[in-house]
Amino acid sequence: MKDYKKLASWSLLALMVIGIIVSVMFYLGGMSEEVHVVAGDELGVPRFTDLFLYWNYILLALVFAITLCFVCVNYVQLWKNNKKKAISYTAVICGFVLLVAVCWLLGSAEKVEIVGYEGHDNEGFWAQLSDMMIYLCYCLLCGTILTVLGGWIYTKTLNK
């Protein structure tokens, strides 16, 4: 168990050091020669923008993969140890998948007008995916607020 904790600590430290180095390079690395004109203003592009974005993509993929692994392992162990709880866990997963599907259907594939943008990534699938993510964030935020309020009300009524 100590080796596992040591590995996790060193991994976290390495990722943090790399993240700090990449962030410093992005913020203090100066501007590239590329200049974008947006709404009449000239905007410079930091030299290490691609590196910064790729590092964030890597971190996001790591978080997603690690979270998915822990959820799967927990789910399998739950089915072995407590089938009743595993069924309720399955219902929660199905509810989340249903919420994602509803948010997808609420999204629009119409082109989103963005000032200064001339590409095609703001229409079709990507526009609908962006809408879905926004609606999903709204739903999860509302669920979180309702859970906090419900927990607060529950504890206040329990203490009386």
Mean pLDDT by 10 residues, the chain (160 residues): 78 92 90 78 83 94 92 90 89 94 93 80 88 95 96 87
Q: What is the pLDDT of residue 121?
A: 81
Q: What is the pLDDT of residue 122?
A: 83
Q: What is the pLDDT of residue 58?
A: 95
Q: H helices within 82-124, ranges in order?
A: 83-106
What are the distances in angstroms from CA 94 to CA 20, 56, 102, 105?
A: 38, 29, 12, 17
Cβ atoms of residues 35 and 42 within 8 Å: yes
Q: What is the pLDDT of residue 114?
A: 80
What are the distances in angstroms from CA 125 to CA 78, 118, 131, 144?
A: 36, 17, 10, 28
CA distance 85 to 92: 11
Q: What is the pLDDT of residue 80?
A: 92
Question: Model-level pTM greater than 0.95?
Answer: no
Q: What is the pLDDT of residue 159?
A: 75
DSSP string, 33-61: EEEEEETTEEEEEETTHHHHHHHHHHHHH
